[in-house]
Amino acid sequence: MHSHHNGLKTAALLGLLTAMILGVGYWFGGSAGLVVAVLLSLGMNAAGYFWSDRIALRSMNAQPVGEAEFPALYRMVRELSAEAGQPMPRLYVSPALQPNAFATGRDPQHAAVAVTAGITRLLDYRELRAVIGHELSHVYNRDILISSVAAGLAGIITMLANLALFVPLGGGDDDDAPNPAVLLFMLILGPIAASVVQLAISRNREFEADASGARLTGDPLALAEALRKISYGAQRLPLPADAKVASSAHLMIANPLSGGGLSALFSTHPPMEERVRRLREMAAQSY
């Protein structure tokens, strides 16, 4: 069900993206600069989509591991994949001491699940199994696909906003001068709208992955306790906010970066307290 809904969301975003390109293209009157901007943005985001797993894994210095190195972890990933009727993803471990985990890959056939060394030391077997269920659900729900499409939408809006600085948009008294109202919209409202789309999708997908992951493992309370521990551990050991980590932060089960104020407002993760509350309610309803 979640995968079906996410497919509809992806189609809607693609439709919005196409409409935006056509509308702005008409406004620009077939500008060659617009064509270059759109093609460049699409090319960059397509590369990010197809190689997103490598980029994310490299950002955390994650290394592939097998059953010999992490037998219990490997076994739980294999068993949960079999339970879901899906191929087993590649398994990676990052040396980071912060407790965290993420999944990447555009579909179950190209998926990877990564955990940090910190999370394997902090959580017990049930809790770690619940986290793996959450991460596998991201793959099965096609969340990575949605993120890629949303990123493409944001990238094109931002590139068009930059292009608006140099290309006349028409509508003013001077044919060579850009329309101030359109310029304001493109430079301010456009990027904000794109960010809101990305953040809304990212926040919703965490709730969905919590719920579907808890159903896969049959243990919502274990995931609730794992999230509580991970949140505390991530706050105590925040990762450096460099470009590599920031680009993959939205993939992780908990926000790996420190921050408050406006940075908290634009966080790609919903409040941990709300996630824990929903999982506990889910557990209560199952009894």
Give catalytic residue positions: 135
Judge whether 220 and 283 are in contact, CB under 8 Å: yes
Give the Cα separation of 70 and 73 in Å (integer).
5
Strand partners, 173: none
* Best CA proximity match to 191, nearest among 150, 156, 159, 158: 158
Give the DSSP letter of residue 249: G
Scanning the structure block, which residue is given the tokens 């294999």? 78
Burial class, 32, CB count within 10 angstroms (exposed 0-12 / middle 13-18 / buried 19+): exposed
User: What are residue 37's phi and psi, to 5 degrees?
Assistant: -65, -45
- Report how many helices (DSSP H) and strands (DSSP E) the chain contains, helices first: 13, 4
- Nearest Cα to 143, choosing from 173, 112, 106? 106
* H or E segment and range at residue 129: helix 125-140
User: Strand 101-104 vs strand 90-94: parallel, antiparallel, or unpaired?
Assistant: unpaired
- CA distance linking residue 155 with residue 140, whole number of Å: 25
